[in-house]
Amino acid sequence: MGRGAIALARVAVVVRAPAGWLWWTGLAAAGIGVLVPGLTGRTIGVLAGAALCLIAACGVFAARRGRYTALAAEASRAGKAVILQDRSVTLRVRRRAHRRWLLLAFLAAVGSSFALPAAGGLLMAGAALGLWAKARWLGRWERAHESLLWVRTESAGRGGAAGKDVRGYLTTGVAAGDAAPGGARGKGTPAAAHPTPAAAARR
């Protein structure tokens, strides 16, 4: 990284990074849980799990939305001395940071099935749905404002994209980076079209 340059990660990508692993490990834990009769029985466990899934999805989606909105409203334009982190790199870094918690959550979800079959796994799946919904909500903001939201990587690394260490967001034009609004994989972006760090900030 050049002298004085700062590395930026897409806010929406940071948000959605753990969702895939939460979803699949949650479904796996729920599948294992269905095989366990449990204290309450499978039917009650699945019904309770469905309710927990909905509650988790709504709770995760609503969490810190006010802070995200405030940071987005006060975002400033990125300067030339920025390095835009690739989507794949952000996903890899964030998932690596969460892998221990994901493993513990998976084990806890499987263990809880002996009391309430499948409920813990469906709770994890609900959290994943909430993260995806929040990323899509951020994508709607980006489309409406024709700007992409970015956060400094060192700030997001400690507490997420809206953690206490995040002092503000930066914006670029919608052509910057390699991810679509909302953090999804960009469609048909040729390698040669990826902007240089300085050019990306001007778009």
Q: Write down the pLDDT at residue 80.
A: 83
The region of weakest confidence among 51-65, 83-97, 155-169, 180-194 is: 180-194
Q: Write down the pLDDT at residue 98.
A: 86
Q: Write down the pLDDT at residue 4.
A: 61
**For every residue of the chain, which 3-state class applies, written as one string?**
CCCCCEEEEEHHHHHHCCHHHHHHHHHHHHHHHHCCCCCCCHHHHHHHHHHHHHHHHHHHHHCCHHHHHHHHHCCEECCCCEEECCHHHHHHHHHHHHHHHHHHHHHHHHHHCCCCCCHHHHHHHHHHHHHHHHHHHHHHHHHHHCCEEEEEHHHHHHHCCCCCCCCCCEEECCCCCCECCCCCECCCCCHHHCCCHHHHHHC
pTM, whole model, 2 decimals?
0.86
Q: pLDDT tens digits for 148-166?
A: 999 999 988 778 899 888 9
